[in-house]
Amino acid sequence: MALKGLDIFKLSPKKNCKECGSPTCMAFSMKVAQGAADISACPYFSEEAKATLMEATAPPMKTIKVGAGEKEIALGGETVLFRHEKTFVSKTRYAVALCSGMDDAEIEAKLANISKVDYDRIGERMYVEMVYVNYDPAAGADKYLDLVKKAAGLNRVLVLGCQDAEVAKAAVELVKADKPILNGADASNYEAMSAVATEAGVVLGVTGANMEETYETIKKLEALGNKNLIVDVGVTSIKEAYKTAVLLRRTAIKDGDRSCGYPSLVQANVLAKGDLHMQAALASLFTMKYGSVIVMEEMNYAQALPLYGLRQNVFTDPQKPMKVEPGIYAINGADENSICLTTVDFALTYFVVSGELERSGVPCNLIISDAGGLSVLTAWAAGKLSANTIAKYFAEADIEGKVKNRTLVIPGKVAVLKGEIEAKLPGWNIVVGPTEAVQLVKFLKDMQG
C-alpha cells in the first residue's frame, strides 16, 4: 500500500533542520512518499518510526498458500473491497465436509459424491477443490486418522478440523507433505496447536466465539511468531460469521491492520446444518463477501451450477470481457447435417444464445469465431465481426470440411453483413437471424415448419 506524505510526516521529527536537503520536514515526507528521497537521508527519524513505515508499506492482506504441487492453491492477497476497484486476486474455494462421527456408509457415500461435480465452464474447471475432515472426539482418534487417510486419497487439498493438539499432530503427520490446513486453534489451545502447525509447516486455522476474541488469539499467535494463518469466521451464528468475514477484510484493506489480513474460512455446513438450500444461500453470500474457503455438507449440481457461475463472474477482471473458445458447438445432438448459426465469442452472448438454442430443441451447430470477446454490435463496430473475419475463421478452422450443411444464420444485429458474407462464402445460404436471442426459439421453429 502506498503511503501518503501525511502518514510519513506524522512520524517525522518536524524539526525543519534542512539536513536532509529539503526545506521542511513536510517537503521531505512528500519526497519519500513519491520515492524521490530515501528515509535514511534524515538523521532524526527514530528506528521505531522507520519500522512502522516499513510495516505500513507491506501488502495489507497476506497470500496464504495451501496444498502441494499441482494442487497448490493461493488464498487471500486481496487489495480492494469491491471488484470494480481492481480485480479480486484469489477466488473462493469450496470444500465438502467429512466427519469421523459419521457412520461408514455415510462416509463412503460422501467420498463417492465429492468427485461428482466436475465440469468445465469457459475454460475453468469447476469441482470441489478441498475436503474438510472434522474430528469427532466421541469416535476416537483412530477412526479420525483412518478418515484422514481415506480423504487424502481424493487428491484434494485437505482441511483438518481438529481442536485436540495431540490428535491433530498425528493427523497432520500423515498428510503434511500435501500441505493441508490445520483448523482448530482458539483461545484455549492456540499454543499447542501453533506448535503442531509450525513444526509440520502447515497453515493454522484460528477462531473464536466472536470477532473480538478471534482477533486476540490472532495477536497471540503472531506474538508466537506464527503468521501462517487462516481465520475461521466461527460457528456461533450466521450474523457473527458475516461480521467477522467483513471486518477482517475491511480492517485489513481500509485501516491497514495486518492482523486482520488473513484469508477466511466459513463453515456453512455447521452454520446451516441439514439445510442444503440455506447452505447454498450462505455459499453465495460469502462468495460475494469475503469468504476464501467455504465448507458445505455436500456439493451437488443444483448448488454448484449457480455457485461456480457466480464465482466465475465475481472474480473476473472488470476491464476484461469473458471469452469462450472459438469452435463448433454442437447443440441438441447436432451432426454435420444440422443447420449452422454464428455469433461472437463474448461469454455472455454465447450463454444467452446457446441457452435459447438448447431451449428450441432443434439440433444446430453454433459456430463461434474470435471477435475479441465483444458483443455483436461492438465487435462489428470494431471490425472484429465482419465478412472477412468470419470467412477467415471458416478457412482456418476448416468448417466446410467438418460440416456438410450450408445454411448459416447470422445475428440480426449485423444483417448488413449478409451480402458481403455471401460473397466471401460461396455456396452458403446466409440467413439473417433475429436481433434478440429470446426470439431464436420461435425463429428456428418457424424455419423448420
Partner 1 sequence: MAKFVTIGERIHCISPVIRKAMAERDPEPILKRAKEQLDAGATYLDVNIGPAESDGEDLMKWAVQLLQSNFDNVPLALDTANKKAIEAGISVYNRAKGKPIVNSADAGGRIENIDLAAANDAIVIALCSAEGIAADNDERMMHCQNMLERGLSLGMEPTDLWFDPLFLVVKGMQDKQMEVLEAIKMFSDMGLNSTGGLSNNSNGMPKHIRPIMDSALVAMAMMQGLTSAIVNPCDLRLMETIKSCDIFKNNTLYADSYLEI
Partner 2 sequence: MPFNAKSGKFNASINVVEIGTGDKKIKIGGENVLPFYTFDAPVENAPKVGIEITDFGLEHEPDCVKKYYEGCATVVDMAKKAAEMEGVDFLSIRLEGGDPNGANKSTEELVQLVKEVAEAVDLPLVVCGSKNVEKDAELLAKAAEALDGKNAVLLSAREENYKAVGAAAGLAYKQLVGAESAVDINLAKQLNVLLTQLGVDGKSIVMNVGSAAAGYGFEYVVSTMDRIKAAALGQGDTTLQMPIITPVASEVWGVKEAIASEADMPEWGDQEERGIDMEVETAAAVLASGSNAVILKHPVSVATVSKMIKALM
23's contact among partner 1, partner 2, none, with CB below 5 to 8 A by partner kind, is partner 1
Does residue 374 belong to the site contacting partner 2 (CB under 8 A)? Answer: no
Regarding 30 and contact with partner 1 (CB under 8 A), the answer is yes
Contact flags string 34-53 toward partner 1, x per CB under 8 A: x-------------------
CB of 290 to partner 2, least distance (A): 10
Give Dmax over CA atoms of the chain in angstroms.
90
Exposure string for 402-432, b = 16+ CB within 10 A, e = fewer: ebebeebbbbbbbeebeebbeebbeebebeb
Buried b (16+ CB within 10 A) or exposed e, 359-398: ebebbbbbbbbbbbbbbbebbbeeebbbbebbbebbeebe
- In the bound state with partner 1, the residue whose beta carbon lies nearer, of 7 and 129, is 7
Q: Cell numbers 528515509 correspond to what residue?
A: 39
Residue 368 · residue 345 · CB < 8 Å: yes
In whole angstroms, how close is the CB of 26 to partner 1 at the nearest point?
4
In eight-state DSSP terms, residue 160 is E
**Closest alpha carbon to 107 in 60, 76, 144, 159:** 144
Q: Judged by CB under 8 A, which stretch of 4-12, 157-165, 234-242, 283-291 contacts partner 1?
A: 4-12
Reduced to 3 states (helix: H, G, I; strand: E, B; else coil), residue 242 is helix
Are the CB atoms for 299 and 94 separated by under 8 Å?
A: yes
Residues 6 or more apart in contact with residue 326 via CB below 8 angstroms:
345, 368, 369, 370, 393, 397
Task: Identify which of residues 10 and 254 has a Cβ nearer to partner 2 in the complex.
Answer: 254
Residues for the chain: how many in total? 449
Considering Cα of 226, then 229, then 233, then 235, what sign does the dihedral take? negative
In angstroms, the CA 328 to CA 273 distance is 44
Residue 313 binding target from partner 2, partner 1, none, CB below 5 to 8 Å by type: partner 2
Does position 49 interact with partner 2 (CB under 8 A)? The reply is no
Q: Residues touching partner 1: how many (CB under 8 A)?
A: 17
Selected binder of partner 1 within 33, 56, 328, 397 (CB under 8 A): 33
Write the CB contacts of 55 (distance below 8 Å, at least 6 apart in sequence): 258
| 308 binds partner 2 per the rule CB under 8 A | yes
What residue 383 binds from partner 1, partner 2, none (CB within 5 to 8 A, per partner kind)? none
* Stretch near partner 2 under the rule CB under 8 A, chosen from 40-48, 349-357, 397-405, 414-422: 349-357
113 near partner 2 (CB under 8 A)? no
In the complex, the smallest distance separating the C-beta of residue 269 from partner 2, rounded to whole angstroms, is 15
**Contact (Cβ atoms closer than 8 angstroms) between residue 165 and residue 137:** no
Output the smallest distance, CB 8 to partner 1, in A.
9
Residues ≥6 apart with Cβ < 8 Å to 319: 87
Q: Which of residues 272-291 bind partner 2 (CB under 8 A)?
A: 275, 277-278, 280-285, 287-289
Q: Which member of 13, 17, 24, 89 binds partner 1 (CB under 8 A)?
A: 24
Cα–Cα nearest to 368, from 319, 434, 322, 422: 322
Partners of 367 in beta bridges = 328, 342
Question: Which of 310, 328, 377, 432 touches partner 2 by CB under 8 A?
Answer: 310
4 binds, among partner 2, partner 1, none (CB under 5 to 8 A by kind): partner 1
> Is residue 56 near partner 2 by the rule CB under 8 A?
no
Per CB under 8 A, the list member of 21, 23, 140, 419 interacting with partner 1 is: 23
237 binds, among partner 2, partner 1, none (CB under 5 to 8 A by kind): partner 2
Half-sphere exposure of 52 (CA within 13 A, CB side): 11
Residue count, binding to partner 2 (CB under 8 A):
54
Nearest approach in angstroms of CB 379 to partner 2 is 16
| DSSP sequence for 293-341 | EEEES---HHHHHHHHHHHHHHTS-TTS--BPPPEEEEESS--TTSEEE
C-alpha separations of 176 from 95, 158, 195, 230, 232 in Å = 18, 10, 14, 17, 20
Q: Is 348 in the site for partner 1 (CB under 8 A)?
A: no
The site partner of 33 among partner 2, partner 1, none (C-beta below 5 to 8 Å per kind) is partner 1
87 binds, among partner 1, partner 2, none (CB under 5 to 8 A by kind): none
Binding residues for partner 2 (CB under 8 A):
82-84, 121, 211-212, 215-216, 219, 237-239, 242-243, 246-247, 250-251, 254-255, 275, 277-278, 280-285, 287-289, 300-303, 305-310, 312-314, 316, 318, 347-348, 351-352, 355, 358-359
Binding residues for partner 1 (CB under 8 A):
4-7, 9-10, 14, 16, 23-27, 29-30, 33-34
